[in-house]
Amino acid sequence: MVRPLKRLFSALVVVLLALAGGAHAADVEGQLRVTGRLMLDGNAPRDFTKGLTSTNTSDLVLSLLAVGEGRYTADRWQVVGRYDGGGRKYLSYPTEDALVQAASLEGSLALGTSLGVGLEGRAKDRRGGSRAYTDLAASAFVEYAPDTQLSLRLRAGAHRFLYHRDTSANFGSPEVGFLARYRLSRRHALTVSGEYGSRRYHTSVRYPPGTTPEWTGRREDGALMASMGYSYKGPLALGLSYSYQETSSNSFGESVQRHRLSGTAGVRLPWKLTLLAQGALGINRYPDGVYLSPEIILLEDDEAQNTLSLKLVRPLSSQMDLEFSYAMYGTRLPRNDLFYFRQVAGLGLTWRP
């Protein structure tokens, strides 16, 4: 399933380079970052337990992450790309080993002082454990930025999702979306975004237990997302956002509504230390009373649970940083009293050439 990822980005690269072929006075910049971590995972298999009781499921984890970013600017053209590749190895729970690749590519053309058009694409491929999938998306966009305060982007495209362990979760979807940014001042900014997709599956509709269907149709979902956020950049960096996600399905047990409030903070401390903090609270509601979609397995802890994470960073040199990180995740399913709790602590080194 890696082939669709390569085909998507090969096509985008060809189109974007062809469009930028006549540009002059090019400016190229990029950066690379590699991070290695040794972590202790307090709930390696990500088990739910009854009430607050739990067993010892901790494990040591080795992880490696490489991030590359690049930008090509020439006259009115700009191409921006990013690639993330990483893996993790558990010592006692090899079923949780994972290899993840993610890439994004965007090219834009300025049509004047305030209007621009472009193409964008993203892809993610995850292998290992129960969360193996390929996620592809591509779209065209129009951007309006009359001044340095306001920018508005409208986009339309397609989304393809492939879950390798359960093909019933595979879907294709046209999508539309928007992103608006407004800078109140040099340090204060607001963002509002939204998107909608009409997902089509190849599997049949699931009906409530004990019912006799009058007809058999294909599963169809409407996926809605809306968010708004505020950010402050000064001696203390702050961010606060609220997001709402709704999946409305004609298949029993596939509908869900999610409210999520999250915040971030960053501050410099004495001895060249930087403290980064992030937290989120979420409320999930299931209109059918249950949630049977494989999506609940695919979501990472920082997407599906209440979270609190801290990271302390200190530079060792101009190219090397030492970091200590701690995160905890938790939630409770009120209908069956299942409880989830996980803590992860790690020590890592980040290298920049």
Task: Report the distance separating Cα 33 and Cα 37, nearest Å.
Answer: 13
Enter the tokens of residue 129.
């454990």
**Residue 208 in domain:** yes
**Residue 331 in domain:** yes
Domain count, the chain: 1
**Of 133, 186, 120, nearest in space to 161 by CA:** 133
The pLDDT assigned to 23 comes to 44
**Residue 329 in domain:** yes
What are the Cα distances from residue 19, in Å, to 16, 35, 44, 157, 208?
5, 35, 47, 19, 52
The pLDDT assigned to 10 comes to 53
Pairing mode, strands 273-285 and 256-269: antiparallel
**Residue 95 in domain:** no
Enter the tokens of residue 316.
């060792």
Coil/strand/helix, residue 167: helix
Q: Centre a 10 Å sphere on the Cβ of residue 285 and count the other Cβ atoms it contains.
A: 12
Strand partners, 198: 222
Please check whether residue 42 is in contact with residue 344, taking contact to mean a CB–CB distance below 8 angstroms. Answer: yes
**Residue 84 in domain:** no
What CATH number is attached to the domain comprising 258? 2.40.160
Domain with 136, as residue range(s), is: 38-55+123-351
- The amino acid occupying position 5 is L
Task: Report the distance separating Cα 190 and Cα 181, nearest Å.
Answer: 6
**Residue 1 in domain:** no
What are the Cα distances from residue 324, in Å, to 18, 301, 309, 310, 313?
44, 19, 11, 8, 7
Enter the tokens of residue 223.
């996926």
Report the run of H or E that residue 296 belongs to, with start and end: helix 295-298
This prediction's pTM: 0.83
Please check whether residue 265 is in contact with residue 308, taking contact to mean a CB–CB distance below 8 angstroms. Answer: no
Distance of CA 53 to the CA centre of its chain: 31
The pLDDT tens digits along the chain (353 residues) read 445 444 544 554 554 455 445 444 578 888 999 999 999 999 888 887 776 555 788 999 999 999 999 999 988 889 999 999 999 999 999 988 999 999 999 999 999 889 999 999 999 999 987 778 999 999 999 999 999 899 999 999 999 999 988 888 899 999 999 999 999 999 999 999 999 999 999 988 888 887 777 667 899 999 999 999 999 999 899 999 999 999 999 998 889 899 999 999 999 999 999 999 999 998 888 888 777 777 666 666 556 678 999 999 999 999 999 999 999 998 876 666 677 888 999 999 999 98
Please check whether residue 324 is in contact with residue 318, taking contact to mean a CB–CB distance below 8 angstroms. Answer: no
**Residue 114 in domain:** no
Task: Report the distance separating Cα 255 and Cα 194, nearest Å.
Answer: 19
Enter the tokens of residue 177.
């979306």
The pLDDT assigned to 287 comes to 87
Distance of CA 331 to the CA centre of its chain: 20
Task: Report the distance separating Cα 140 and Cα 121, nearest Å.
Answer: 9
What are the Cα distances from residue 80, in Å, to 7, 111, 122, 251?
18, 18, 12, 39
The pLDDT assigned to 171 comes to 95
The pLDDT assigned to 215 comes to 66
The DSSP symbol for 162 reads E
Enter the tokens of residue 176.
């539309």
**Residue 33 in domain:** no
